[in-house]
Structure 1
Amino acid sequence: MLRVEHVMGFPVSLRIDDPDVPESAADAVFAWLREVDVRFSPFKPDSEVSRLDRGEVVELSADLTEVLDLCEHYRVATGGAFDVRLPGRGLDPCAVVKGWSVQRAAELLTAAGARRFCLNAGGDVVAAGGPWRVGVRHPEHADKLCTVLDLTDAAVATSARYERGDHIIDGRTGRPATGLLSLTVVAPTLAEADSVATAAFAMGTEGIEWAAGLDGCEVFAVDAERQVLRSAGFPVAGERAAAA
Structure 2
Amino acid sequence: MKKIEDIKILVASAEHVKYVDDINDAIDLASKQRGTGIARRTFEYLQGKMLDGKAIIALDDNKFAGFCYIETWENKNFVANSGLIVRDEYRGLGLAKAIKYKAFALSREKFPDSKIFGLTTGLAVMKINHELGYRPVTFSELTADDLFWNGCKSCVNHDILERTNRTKCLCTGMLYDPAWEKNKKEEAPVKKRSLLDIIKKLSLSNLTGKKEVQGSGSSKLISKIFNALFV
TM-score of the alignment, normalized to the shorter chain, above 0.5: no
Greater Rg, structure 1 or structure 2? 2
TM-score (norm 2): 0.29
**Structure with greater helix percent:** 2
**Structure with greater strand percent:** 1
